[in-house]
Amino acid sequence: MLMPTPEFKTSDLYFAAYLQVAGVRMAKTERNGSGKLTFCFDLSISNIDELKQAWFSQEGRVPALPYANAIKSLKAQCHMG
């Protein structure tokens, strides 16, 4: 029997963009009944705890242009049906 891939979920668009640029693979998105989008990330090859610590301590570093592009891409997903 296959075990499900561990996931980390967030509805924070900016944190999701940071995770993407930091190299965490986004597995899927989920939309709840009110239309809010949740970003689901594959944890099988990433250490989310280190990335989360860096984000909240304001020590996380990602390149600005890819981060801005990731934000634009995720915003587009939020506004899709």
pLDDT in tens, 49-72: 999 999 999 999 999 999 999 999
Structural domain contains residue 1: no
Structure tokens belonging to residue 39: 């970003």
Return the SS3 of 7: strand
54 burial type by CB count under 10 A (0-12 exposed, 13-18 middle, 19+ buried): middle
How far apart (Å, rounded) are the C-alpha atoms in residues 1 and 79? 37
List the domain range (segments joined by +) for residue 13. Answer: 7-79
- Spans in the chain with pLDDT lower than 50: none
Residue 32 lies in a domain: yes
CB 11 within 8 A of CB 39: yes
Q: How much is the mean pLDDT over the chain?
A: 91
Query: How many structural domains comprise the chain?
Result: 1
Angle between the 48-56 and 13-21 helix axes, to the nearest 10 degrees? 120
